[in-house]
Amino acid sequence: MTPTTERTGLWLIGAGGSVAATVACGLAALRAGVAGSTGLVTARPELEDVGLADVADLVTGGHDVTTVSLAKRAEELAAAGVVPHDLPRLVAHDLDEASTRIRPGYVVGAENQRDAVERLADDLREFASREGLSRVVVVNVSSTEALVVPHPGHADVEALESAWDAGESPLPASSVYAAAAFRAGCAFVDFTPSAGARLPALEEMAAHAGLPWGGSDGKTGETLLKSVLAPMFAMRALDVRSWAGTNLLGGGDGATLASPDARQSKIESKAAGLEALLGHPVEGPLHIDHVADLGDWKTAWDHITFAGFLGTRMTLQFTWQGCDSALAAPLVIDLARLLDLALRRGESGPVAALGFFFKDPAGLDEHALAPQHDLLVRWARGEVAADAAGGASSR
Amino acid sequence: MTPTTERTGLWLIGAGGSVAATVACGLAALRAGVAGSTGLVTARPELEDVGLADVADLVTGGHDVTTVSLAKRAEELAAAGVVPHDLPRLVAHDLDEASTRIRPGYVVGAENQRDAVERLADDLREFASREGLSRVVVVNVSSTEALVVPHPGHADVEALESAWDAGESPLPASSVYAAAAFRAGCAFVDFTPSAGARLPALEEMAAHAGLPWGGSDGKTGETLLKSVLAPMFAMRALDVRSWAGTNLLGGGDGATLASPDARQSKIESKAAGLEALLGHPVEGPLHIDHVADLGDWKTAWDHITFAGFLGTRMTLQFTWQGCDSALAAPLVIDLARLLDLALRRGESGPVAALGFFFKDPAGLDEHALAPQHDLLVRWARGEVAADAAGGASSR
Amino acid sequence: MTPTTERTGLWLIGAGGSVAATVACGLAALRAGVAGSTGLVTARPELEDVGLADVADLVTGGHDVTTVSLAKRAEELAAAGVVPHDLPRLVAHDLDEASTRIRPGYVVGAENQRDAVERLADDLREFASREGLSRVVVVNVSSTEALVVPHPGHADVEALESAWDAGESPLPASSVYAAAAFRAGCAFVDFTPSAGARLPALEEMAAHAGLPWGGSDGKTGETLLKSVLAPMFAMRALDVRSWAGTNLLGGGDGATLASPDARQSKIESKAAGLEALLGHPVEGPLHIDHVADLGDWKTAWDHITFAGFLGTRMTLQFTWQGCDSALAAPLVIDLARLLDLALRRGESGPVAALGFFFKDPAGLDEHALAPQHDLLVRWARGEVAADAAGGASSR
Amino acid sequence: MTPTTERTGLWLIGAGGSVAATVACGLAALRAGVAGSTGLVTARPELEDVGLADVADLVTGGHDVTTVSLAKRAEELAAAGVVPHDLPRLVAHDLDEASTRIRPGYVVGAENQRDAVERLADDLREFASREGLSRVVVVNVSSTEALVVPHPGHADVEALESAWDAGESPLPASSVYAAAAFRAGCAFVDFTPSAGARLPALEEMAAHAGLPWGGSDGKTGETLLKSVLAPMFAMRALDVRSWAGTNLLGGGDGATLASPDARQSKIESKAAGLEALLGHPVEGPLHIDHVADLGDWKTAWDHITFAGFLGTRMTLQFTWQGCDSALAAPLVIDLARLLDLALRRGESGPVAALGFFFKDPAGLDEHALAPQHDLLVRWARGEVAADAAGGASSR
In 3D space, the residue among D348, D311, D354, D315 whose CA is nearest the CA of residue D332 turns out to be D354
Q: Is it true that C8-217+326-380 and C222-323 share their CATH fold? A: no
For A84, name the nearest residue in chain D, comparing CA atoms only.
D79
Q: Give tens-digit pLDDT for B331-385.
A: 999 999 999 999 999 999 999 999 999 999 999 999 999 999 999 999 999 998 7
Q: Give tens-digit pLDDT for B264-316.
A: 777 777 777 899 999 999 999 999 999 999 999 999 999 999 999 999 999 99
CB pairs under 8 A between A and C: 67
> Phi and psi at residue B317, in whole multiples of 5°?
-125, 145
Q: Residues A168-175: what's their mean pLDDT?
A: 97
SS3 D390: coil
| Residue-by-residue DSSP string for C142-153 | SPPPPPPPP-GG
Q: Give tens-digit pLDDT for D344-383.
A: 999 999 999 999 999 999 999 999 999 999 999 999 999 9
CA distance D367 to D381: 21
Q: Residues A337-366: what's their mean pLDDT?
A: 97
ipTM above 0.90, yes or no: yes
Write down the pLDDT at residue D390. Answer: 41
Q: CA angle, B356 as apex, B352 and B357 as ends, to 5°?
A: 105
What is the band of B2 on the pLDDT scale with cuts at 50, 70, 90? very low
Write down the pLDDT at residue B3. Answer: 44
Q: Could you give the C-alpha distances from D327 to C305, D138, D219, D224, in angstroms and in order?
A: 14, 19, 9, 11
Chain A interface includes D235 (CB < 8 A): no
What is the band of C4 on the pLDDT scale with cuts at 50, 70, 90? low
Cβ under 8 Å to C: B residues 310-339: 319
Q: Could you give the C-alpha distances from D268 to A78, D262, D272, in angstroms and in order?
A: 40, 10, 6
For D299, name the nearest residue in chain B, comparing CA atoms only.
B303
CA distance C201 to A79: 57
For B291, name the nearest residue in chain D, comparing CA atoms only.
D284
Q: Give tens-digit pLDDT for A15-63.
A: 999 999 999 999 999 999 999 999 999 999 999 899 999 999 999 999 9
Cβ atoms of B2 and B54 within 8 Å: the answer is: no
Average pLDDT, chain B: 93
Write down the pLDDT at residue A259. Answer: 73
CA distance D212 to D136: 11
Say if residue B253's pLDDT is above 50.
Answer: yes
Q: Give tens-digit pLDDT for C92-101.
A: 999 999 999 9
- Total Cβ atoms within 10 A of residue A279: 11
Half-sphere exposure of residue C23, counting CA atoms within 13 Å on the CB side? 32
> Which residues of B fall within a CB distance of 8 Å from D299?
303
Cα-trace Rg, chain B: 20
CATH of A8-217+326-380, picked from 3.30.1540.10, 3.30.420.40, 1.10.3720.10, 3.40.50.720, is 3.40.50.720
Residue from B247, B305, B310, B317 to probe the interface with D (highest D Cβ count within 10 Å): B305
Say if residue A238's pLDDT is above 60.
Answer: yes
* Topology of domain A222-324, CATH: Dihydrodipicolinate Reductase; domain 2 (3.30.360)
- Total Cβ atoms within 10 A of residue A111: 14
Write down the pLDDT at residue B231. Answer: 97
D297-307 β-sheet, strand order: C286-290, C239-249, C297-307, C313-323, D313-323, D297-307, D239-249, D286-290
* Topology of domain D222-323, CATH: Dihydrodipicolinate Reductase; domain 2 (3.30.360)
Give the H/E segment covering residue A93. Answer: helix A92-99
- Asked whether the beta carbons of residue A244 and residue C244 sit closer than 8 angstroms, the reply is no
Residue from D282, D293, D316 to probe the interface with B (highest B Cβ count within 10 Å): D293
Return the C-alpha torsion angle B233, B237, B238, B239, nearest 10: 110
What is the band of D177 on the pLDDT scale with cuts at 50, 70, 90? very high
CA distance D319 to D326: 18
CA distance C70 to C93: 10
Question: What spatial distance separates the first Cα and last Cα of chain C, rounded to whole Å?
Answer: 34
| Residues forming beta bridges with residue B135, ordered by sequence position | B8
> Which residues of B fall within a CB distance of 8 Å from A38?
237-239, 307-311
What is the band of C392 on the pLDDT scale with cuts at 50, 70, 90? very low
Q: Please count the helices (runs of H) and the strands (runs of E) in chain C.
A: 13, 11
Chain C interface includes D46 (CB < 8 A): no
- Total Cβ atoms within 10 A of residue C89: 11
Q: Residues A361-369: what's their mean pLDDT?
A: 96
Q: Where are the domains of chain C?
A: 8-217+326-380, 222-323
CA distance A255 to D160: 66
Q: Residues A66-93: what's their mean pLDDT?
A: 93
How close does chain B come to A277, measured CA to CA in Å?
14
Kindly tell me the sign of the dihedral angle through the C-alpha atoms of C125, C126, C128, C129: positive
Which has more confidence, A254 or A154?
A154
> Which residues of B fall within a CB distance of 8 Å from A356?
235
Say if residue B254's pLDDT is above 80.
Answer: no
What is the band of A362 on the pLDDT scale with cuts at 50, 70, 90? very high
How close does chain B come to D200, measured CA to CA in Å?
37
Residues of chain C with pLDDT > 90, as a percent, come to 87
Write down the pLDDT at residue A9. Answer: 98
Residues in chain D: 395
CA distance B207 to B205: 5
SS3 D375: helix
How close does chain B come to A56, measured CA to CA in Å?
16
